[in-house]
Amino acid sequence: MTSPALAAFAESLATRLATDLGAAATPMTSTMQLLIPSTSWNWPTDANGTSSAALYDFCSWVPASDSSGLPFAPSPTRFSDGYKLFLRCLQSDELTTAARVAFQDDTFYTTVLFAGSGQPRMPAWNISQFPQTWLADVAGGSSTAGTIHVKLPAQGEPQGGTGGPTCFALVSPEGADTPIPLGAGQGQSVDIHADAWGQISVRPSGWYDGALLTLKSGGPFLTGNANTFFGADGILRNILTGLCVALNPTITASVTADFAARLHQAQRPGSTLRVAGLHFDTFETSADTTRAEATTRLTASSAPTQPHAVIVGVTIASLTNHAT
């Protein structure tokens, strides 16, 4: 079970950053998932047929779930490994043979720069922009800046915990997450401001044939069946298609006085505030007299000394609807 407040965050991000996925042969169902915790988007630019381990390890796993209410988590299977098995299990014909040849074409592979474990050639993944290019494009501009307003559910969150992350938490210096469940109350909300927002597309290189996968998702198979690959636990059930990135994010939240008090009571020296997946070293609360239904304003800023791009969420495309 997940937090309804986190689901509201994901929905608000998706609404703000909705894009046409376009590349699929048939429409795919896509969802936004939050990254908890968010992570710095500082991958080095690919060059000379190489890819950083950061890019490959983030993009190449099959997402475990396509639920917008759950944080992003990878499954134990690389998407390329599942696709390779899919091709092997199909009955042979001209299209399948061509796809197998493309999958084996070294042109579509890259040398992954894993530290201390060699430099293996792996199926390549492409992104529409690297951090350095994106930061240069948005530097000094205001066209991509903006604030995303998240209306938090009035019922709050179960005080006994939800079995997963809550919207707000305090994080110890050692990284332990202490959930602070949101109390019930009308008018509670979070505004996330970023100096720039971006949607970075992610796609496999030419080793992958999405049209063939759609056409052959129901077989015929030599072994296995459609559920092996596209069922609830199928090894090709989802694919990562995009990154939601933010530059220098800050937050302002309207919360109840009771929640603000519980937050301060739980605070310990060296702890940081987590809101959705974003971490802030300091936060302040003050009376909010501008809105009758909200009693306390919570503000937090990471106050970076240099431009800081973070991955806030990801776009997941579900492939389960292709099975017949």
pLDDT at 157 over 70: yes
pLDDT tens for residues 176-194?
Answer: 888 888 888 888 899 999 9
- Which range among 13-22, 197-206, 282-291 shows the weakest confidence by mean pLDDT? 13-22
pLDDT at residue number 142: 65
Confidence of residue 216 (pLDDT cuts 50, 70, 90): very high
Highest mean predicted confidence (pLDDT) among 40-54, 86-100, 133-147, 270-284: 86-100
pLDDT tens for residues 220-265?
Answer: 999 989 999 998 889 999 999 999 999 999 999 988 888 888 888 8
pLDDT at residue number 243: 94
Rg, the chain, Cα only? 22
Confidence of residue 320 (pLDDT cuts 50, 70, 90): low
Confidence of residue 288 (pLDDT cuts 50, 70, 90): low
Separation between Cα atoms, residue 18 and residue 31, nearest integer Å: 10
- Which range among 23-37, 252-266, 273-287 shows the weakest confidence by mean pLDDT? 23-37
Separation between Cα atoms, residue 16 and residue 69, nearest integer Å: 17
pLDDT at 143 over 60: yes
Q: Please, what is the average pLDDT of the chain? A: 86
Confidence of residue 165 (pLDDT cuts 50, 70, 90): confident
pLDDT at 204 over 80: yes
Q: How much is the average pLDDT of 143-165?
A: 81
pLDDT tens for residues 82-109?
Answer: 999 999 999 999 999 999 999 999 999 9
Confidence of residue 42 (pLDDT cuts 50, 70, 90): very high
pLDDT at residue number 295: 65
More confident position, 283 or 9:
9
pLDDT at 323 over 50: no
